[in-house]
């Protein structure tokens, strides 16, 4: 199930709490059928040192100019357009304000329907995500680096829609009133937040357990009761690891697959909720929901201070939580998650995913990840490093420390050094050796082992190939009679020698059989090396460089893929198809997908999706025979891959 092609977590690690006591009163008139999204209201806060002389408010471009009025001070206004295309309104006060001066702004504007990152409207659905779109006026706060960041605020929001439409917001209490033709949803935010609203023909299913859970679904194929029950169990379990949360009306919110396809948004974690496309909700995925719900602590309640380790304190820790969920609810697949990817989740968020990037030359120390590597490396090497750290410290002690951290730093923010110091204090001794080798340098360990048996002793030799690591390792000894023995060693030097007791004739010795330590494993290394070409192309796509990605893919194909045992040629053609389709070059995209299917070695995790992409193109050009062929083969390929992509449900949209 490649349900979520590209998860985007709109959780800036340096969002600031409403330290200015920022409060909104927002009135929204929204009617997707009539393409209306109009906003009016007010915002107010008390000035501090950062806003004594000036304040900046960001707002997306609308149909016309927004009307703003400042109360509580006098000053001059100028505007500029930022890199995202939003308008920045800069008020400069005539006189410096005393700290605590009450400032208020009233405003009104027609947002219109122009698409933007996390803002989308068609005739039946509207998505206005505040984490990625300034659909409402967002007050900027100067951070420690001299940059402007969004300020969270409390709010009361009134959203008026036609009777057949429902407005949904997470982490808030809600009241409903109605007239003969409209209904108004009154949302109240007692805790500071960034606001996102979703409007559509929703139905609500709820689960009243320890944590009330609500699923807002648009399609009948989403079983909201089951999702609410399982998601509540995940939240309950993560609370035992990370500590308490106080979130009203935790919500799972569906949005249409076609919106996901058009916007490139595969899902989002927002405070008090998870927003997912239909395809991600057809079947509950523990890794996916574990990660998204994990963000409720790491990225929402706990905000990173400073850039060092910021991605580890959001992405890395959320992914660590995801692994704990899998270990608890689906332990049989925990090794898959660590090694080659959890079924139905993003496969590159695993040990293999990291090794592929490292082989492609994309590697950075976890303490200083940049750009997309917050996801790429934080969600691969990052969570495995944190898992190993938890095992070194002791799982129970580690989780008690995380709970202490959440309580201690929940209001002030958490620096990476604070995090490391708290873990070391709990451990009772310095862990700098661990931090240096896993967080502060690139790479992963690699070793070779040899052994021979001398009566009741196994002579085991270990040699580290590159950088030297201090590692706790499991050794699985398999005897000729089929029995096994699990023993433990620790290596610290380039060359280590061990004498292990054995009680029968040894047939095989496996080092780290459960892949609890990220390393260049014999099976994974050739895959990573071969797939590094694909990774380079994919990373250019992620960086929004489609022309460079296509050019690189074509150069690899022109060179030829020697001994292609891992579907590299197939995947390169698939990536070319995705690039062409995004550029509205339908026939070119179709040609690439069909060429991919002619490759001798095909990637099983992309095969069903290749047929599905062909089905999309066939449907658009009304080629019935091609459509039926593609749908039939998509389902067949999916069945052969343990129905990982739920193609039977996906292709129903074409029928």
CATH number at residue 318: 1.10.390
From CA 484, how far away is CA 644, in angstroms rounded?
32
Same domain, 259 and 378: no
The DSSP code for 333 is G
H/E element, 349: none
Q: Is residue 162 within 8 Å of residue 200, measured between CB atoms?
A: no
Instruction: Spell 107-131 as b/e; 16+ CB within 10 A means b.
Output: bebbbbbeebbbbbbbeebbbbbbb
Average pLDDT over residues 500-524: 97
Do the Cβ atoms of 154 and 42 come closer than 8 Å?
no
Give the list of residues 6+ apart from residue 622 with CB closer than 8 angstroms, or none.
Answer: none
- pLDDT value for 316: 98
More confident residue, 450 or 2: 450
What DSSP line would sit under 560-602, residue for residue?
--TT--S-HHHHHHHHHHHHHHHTT-HHHHHHHHHHHHT-SS-
Among 251, 268, 294, identify where a domain stops. Answer: 294
Position 140 scores a pLDDT of 87
Residue range 362-386, pLDDT digits in tens: 999 999 999 899 999 999 999 999 9
288's torsion region: left (phi>0), alpha (psi -120 to 50) or beta? alpha
The mean pLDDT value for 2-26 works out to 54
Tell me, yes or no, whether 51 and 165 share the same domain. Answer: yes
Average pLDDT over residues 335-360: 95
- What is the average per-residue pLDDT within 110-122? 90
What's the CA gap between 431 and 243, in Å, rounded?
24
pLDDT of residue 2: 38
Cα 603 to its chain centre, rounded Å, is: 24
Q: What is residue 146's predicted lDDT score, i.e. its pLDDT?
A: 55
Q: Would the pLDDT of 35 be above 60?
A: yes
Q: Has residue 9 got a pLDDT over 90? A: no
- Mean pLDDT along residues 191-217: 90
Q: Is 6 domain-assigned?
A: no
What is the CB neighbour count within 10 angstroms for residue 20? 22
Is residue 116 a contact partner of residue 129, using CB atoms and an 8 Å limit?
A: no
Q: 540-583: per-residue pLDDT in tens?
A: 998 889 999 999 999 999 999 999 999 999 999 999 999 999 89
Q: Is 577 exposed, middle or buried (0-12, 13-18, 19+ CB in 10 A)?
A: buried
> Is residue 421 left, alpha or beta, with left meaning phi > 0 and alpha meaning psi from -120 to 50?
alpha
Residue 300 covered by a domain: no
In a domain, 18, yes or no: no
Question: What is the total count of domains within the chain?
Answer: 4
The answer to whether residues 537 and 571 belong to one domain is: yes
Contact of 216 with 202, CB cutoff 8 Å: yes
Whether the predicted pLDDT of 177 surpasses 70: yes
**Distance in angstroms (rounded) separating the CA atoms of residues 7 and 260:** 10
Written in H, E and C, the secondary structure of 491-505 is ECCCEEEEEEECCCC
Residue-range definition of the domain harbouring residue 604: 525-654
- On whether both 114 and 42 belong to a single domain, the answer is yes
Is the pLDDT score of 70 beyond 60?
yes
156: pLDDT strictly greater than 70: yes
Q: Is the pLDDT of residue 133 over 70?
A: yes
Measured distance CA(276)–CA(344) in Å, rounded:
14
pLDDT given for residue 116 in this prediction: 86
For residue 368, being part of any structural domain is answered with: yes
- Give the CATH number for residue 538: 1.25.40.10
Residue 478 has what pLDDT? 97
Q: Please say if the pLDDT value at position 4 is more than 70.
A: no
Please report the pLDDT score of residue 300 as a whole number.
Answer: 86
Q: Are residue 506 and residue 533 in the same domain, yes or no? A: no
Whether 467 and 588 share a structural domain? no
pLDDT of 17 over the 60 cut: no
Contact present, 360 and 532 (Cβ < 8 Å): yes
| Closest by Cα among 371, 191, 141, 198 to 296 | 191
Instruction: Out of 226, 259, 294, pick the residue that ends a domain.
Output: 294
- Does residue 269 or residue 261 have the better pLDDT? 269
What number is the average pLDDT over the span 467-474? 96
Q: Indicate the residue among 438, 465, 482 that finishes a domain.
A: 438
Whether residue 391 is found in the same domain as residue 491: no
Average pLDDT over residues 400-413: 94
| Helix and strand numbers, DSSP H then E, in the chain | 19, 27
User: 415 with 498, same domain?
Assistant: no
Distance CA 179, CA 502 (A): 80
Least trusted range by pLDDT, from 206-215, 374-383, 413-422, 449-458: 206-215
Distance between CA atoms of 594 and 596, rounded to whole angstroms?
A: 5
* pLDDT band at 210; cut points 50, 70, 90: confident
CA atoms within 13 A on the CB side of 542: 17
- Measured at the CA of 242, the angle between CA 321 and CA 354, to 5 degrees, comes to 25
pLDDT at 132: 82
What mean pLDDT is predicted for residues 458-477?
96
Structure tokens at 281: 């909700």
Strand ordering across the sheet containing 268-270: 203-208, 212-217, 250-255, 273-277, 268-270
> What's the pLDDT band for 355 if we cut at 50, 70, 90?
very high
Does the pLDDT at position 58 exceed 80?
yes
**Positive/negative CA dihedral, 177, 183, 184, 185:** positive
pLDDT tier at 147 (50, 70, 90 boundaries)?
Answer: low
Least confident of 24-28, 169-173, 494-498, 587-591: 169-173
Tell me, what's the pLDDT at 148? 63
Please indicate, yes or no, whether residues 106 and 237 belong to a single structural domain of this protein.
Answer: yes
402: buried, middle or exposed (CB in 10 Å: 19+, 13-18, 0-12)? Answer: buried
* pLDDT band with cut points at 50, 70 and 90 for residue 85: confident
7 in a structural domain: no
Residue 554 near residue 576, CB atoms below 8 Å: yes
pLDDT given for residue 14 in this prediction: 38
Q: Residue 504 contacts by C-beta under 8 Å, 6 or more apart in sequence?
A: 479, 480, 481, 483
Q: What pLDDT score does 19 carry? A: 46
pLDDT of residue 207: 87
Residue 11: its pLDDT value, please? 40
Query: Which class for 444: exposed (0-12), middle (13-18), buried (19 or more C-beta within 10 A)?
Result: buried
Residue 408 has phi, psi (to 5 degrees) of: -75, -40
CA distances from 50 to 55, 58, 79, 489, 543 (A): 8, 16, 19, 55, 33
User: Using CA atoms, how far apart are residues 175 and 181, in angstroms rounded to an integer?
Assistant: 17
Same domain, 385 and 470: no
Instruction: Specify the DSSP class assigned to residue 302.
Output: B
Q: Which two tokens stand for residue 47?
A: 């000035």
Strands 102-110 and 36-46: antiparallel
Contact between residue 613 and residue 645 where contact means Cβ atoms under 8 Å apart: no
DSSP SS3 for 177: strand
pLDDT above 80 (res 594): yes
Do the domain assignments include residue 303?
no
* Domain presence at residue 427: yes
Instruction: Assess whether 63 and 201 both reside in one domain.
Output: yes
Residue at 377 is within a domain: yes
Q: Are 616 and 651 in contact (CB under 8 A)?
A: no
* pLDDT above 70: percentage of residues in the chain: 96
**CA 525 to chain CA mean position, Å:** 26
Average pLDDT of the segment spanning 185-199: 94
Q: Are residues 434 and 451 located together in one domain of the fold?
A: no
Mean pLDDT, rounded, of the chain: 92
CATH classification at residue 285: 2.60.40.1730
Structure tokens at 548: 């460079």
Dihedral pair phi/psi, residue 343, rounded to 5°: -55, 130
- Residue 13 pLDDT greater than 60, yes or no: no
Q: What is the pTM of this model?
A: 0.90
């Amino acid at each position: 199930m490649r349900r979520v092609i590209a998860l985007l977590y709109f959780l800036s690690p340096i969002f600031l709490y409403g330290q200015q006591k920022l409060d909104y009163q927002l009135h929204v008139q929204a009617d997707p059928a009539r393409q209306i999204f109009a906003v009016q209201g007010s915002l107010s806060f008390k000035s501090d040192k950062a806003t004594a002389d000036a304040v900046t408010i960001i707002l997306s471009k609308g149909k016309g100019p927004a009307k703003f009025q400042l109360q509580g001070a006098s000053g001059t206004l100028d505007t500029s357009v930022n890199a995202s295309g939003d308008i920045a309104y800069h008020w400069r006060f005539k006189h410096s304000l005393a700290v605590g001066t009450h400032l208020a702004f009233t405003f009104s504007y027609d947002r219109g329907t122009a698409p933007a990152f996390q803002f989308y409207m068609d005739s039946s659905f509207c998505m206005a995500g505040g984490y990625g779109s300034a659909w409402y006026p967002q007050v900027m706060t100067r951070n420690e680096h001299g940059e402007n960041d969004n300020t969270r605020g409390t709010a009361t929001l009134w959203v008026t829609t036609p009777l057949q439409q429902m407005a949904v917001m997470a982490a808030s209490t809600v009241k409903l009133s109605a007239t003969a033709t409209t209904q108004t949803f009154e949302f109240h935010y007692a805790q500071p937040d960034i606001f996102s609203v979703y409007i559509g023909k929703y139905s609500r299913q709820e689960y009243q357990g320890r944590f009330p859970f609500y699923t807002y679904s648009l399609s009948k194929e989403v079983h909201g009761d089951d999702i609410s029950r399982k998601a509540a169990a995940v939240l309950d379990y993560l609370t035992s690891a990370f500590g308490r949360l106080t979130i009203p009306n935790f919500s799972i919110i569906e949005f249409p697959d076609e919106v996901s396809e058009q916007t490139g948004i595969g899902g989002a974690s927002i405070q008090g909720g998870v927003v997912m496309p239909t395809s991600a909700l057809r079947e509950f995925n523990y890794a996916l929901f574990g990660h998204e719900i994990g963000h409720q602590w790491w990225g929402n309640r706990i905000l990173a201070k400073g850039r060092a380790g910021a991605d580890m304190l959001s992405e890395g820790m959320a992914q660590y939580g995801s692994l704990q969920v899998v270990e608890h609810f689906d332990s049989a697949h925990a090794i898959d998650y660590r090694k080659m990817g959890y079924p139905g989740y993003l496969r590159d968020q695993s040990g293999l995913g990291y090794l592929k990037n490292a082989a492609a030359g994309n590697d950075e120390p976890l303490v200083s990840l940049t750009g997309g590597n917050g996801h790429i490396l934080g969600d691969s090497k990052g969570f495995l490093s944190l898992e190993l750290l938890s095992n070194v410290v002791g799982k129970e002690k580690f989780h008690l420390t995380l709970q202490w951290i959440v309580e201690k730093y929940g209001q002030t923010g958490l620096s990476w050094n604070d995090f490391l110091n708290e873990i070391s204090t709990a451990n009772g001794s310095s862990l700098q050796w661990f931090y240096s080798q896993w967080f502060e340098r690139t790479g992963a360990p690699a070793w070779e082992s040899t052994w021979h048996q001398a009566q009741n002793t196994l002579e085991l030799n270990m040699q580290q190939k590159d950088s030297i690591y201090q590692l706790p390792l499991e050794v699985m000894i398999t005897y000729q009679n089929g029995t096994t023995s699990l023993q433990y060693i620790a290596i610290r030097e380039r060359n280590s020698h061990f004498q292990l007791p054995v009680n029968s004739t040894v047939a095989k010795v496996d080092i780290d059989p459960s892949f609890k330590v990220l390393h260049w494993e014999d099976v994974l290394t050739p895959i990573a090396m071969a797939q590094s070409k694909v990774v380079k192309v994919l990373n250019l796509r992620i960086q929004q460089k489609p022309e460079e990605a296509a050019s690189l893919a074509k150069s690899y194909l022109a060179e030829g893929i020697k001994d292609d045992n891992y579907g590299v040629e197939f995947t390169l053609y698939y990536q070319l198809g995705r690039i062409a389709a995004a550029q509205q070059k339908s026939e070119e995209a179709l040609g690439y997908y069909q060429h991919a299917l002619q490759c001798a070695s095909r990637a099983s995790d992309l095969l069903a999706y290749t047929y599905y992409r062909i089905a999309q193109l066939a449907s658009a050009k009304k080629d019935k025979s091609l459509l039926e062929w593609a749908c039939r083969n998509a389902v067949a390929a999916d069945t052969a891959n343990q129905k990982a992509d739920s193609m039977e449900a996906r292709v129903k949209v074409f029928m």
